[in-house]
Amino acid sequence: MQLVLASSNKGKVKEFRQMCEGEITPFSEILEPFEIVEDGESFAENALIKARTIYEKLGEEYLVIADDSGISVPLLGGEPGIYSARYAGEGASDRENLEKLIGEIKAKGVQKTPAFYTAAIAIVSRYGDYVVHGWMHGEVIDEKRGEKGFGYDPIFIPEGHTQTLGELDQSIKAEISHRGKALRMAKPVIRMLMRK
């Protein structure tokens, strides 16, 4: 079986490639690009929608994983949460979403506030569907720092650190991130399914 990643997000693809030591193929290398409607009500539902959609196109010889993720800010009632990719509107860029979040934090009159990232990883194969989750807690600040990572990383300071994910090395992010934690739980399941 071939391991395929059902994601078009370049930041995610880069992180999965690093964390899987290259043994994963983004679906864009096999299929023509097309839009997947993510109309689930949770990270888990949306991850399953993405993985199932790609699995159904590819067939039984494939094991497909998908990541649905986002950042939640309790001060903003949990926003943007599952809407993180379209916080500034449908089709918004990472930069526009980031600027919108900075604006919302400033509008609350604070310079920093607690926040957390969530990742749901869905695993779909001919043997059934699985979902695992990972979280990373920390704070968001009202200014961008650093160029590393993607999305909301330039304003997120993980618990126990003083630098943002825009400043910290990717290897540190892989150790502590929502995606890294979820993938470490997913790996034994993936290995077991690949051997079946």
Q: Is the dihedral of CA 72, 134, 168, 149 positive or negative?
A: negative
129 is catalytic: no
Q: For ligand ITT, which is the closer residue by CB, 82 or 189?
A: 82
How are strands ordered across the β-sheet holding 156-158?
25-26, 2-5, 62-72, 112-125, 128-141, 156-158
- Taking the alpha carbons of 153, 108, 134, 32 in that order, is the dihedral positive or negative? negative
Q: What does the alpha-carbon distance between residue 125 and residue 147 come to, in Å, rounded to a whole number?
A: 36
Which is the catalytic residue, given 67, 68, 142, 153? 68
- Judged by CB under 6 A, the stretch of 6-14, 18-26, 124-132, 138-146 that binds ligand ITT is 6-14
Q: Which amino acid is at 180?
A: G
Residues 124-183 within binding reach of ligand ITT (CB under 6 A): 149-153, 177, 179
Binders in 56-95 for ligand ITT, by CB under 6 A:
67-71, 84-85, 94
Count residues near ligand ITT (CB under 6 A). Answer: 23
In the complex, which residue's CB is closest to ligand ITT?
Answer: 151
Contacts of 108 (CB under 8 A, 6+ apart): 75, 76
Q: Is 116 in the site for ligand ITT (CB under 6 A)?
A: no
By CB under 6 A, is residue 7 in contact with ligand ITT? yes
Site string for ligand ITT, 30-59 (x = CB under 6 A): --------x-----------x---------
Find the part of the chain contacting ligand ITT (CB under 6 A) among 4-12, 26-34, 127-135, 186-194.
4-12
**Pair 153, 165: CB distance under 8 Å:** yes
Percent helix, strand, coil in the chain, to 5, is 40, 25, 35
Give the binding site for ligand ITT (CB under 6 A): 7-9, 12, 38, 50, 67-71, 84-85, 94, 97, 117, 149-153, 177, 179
Catalytic residues: 68
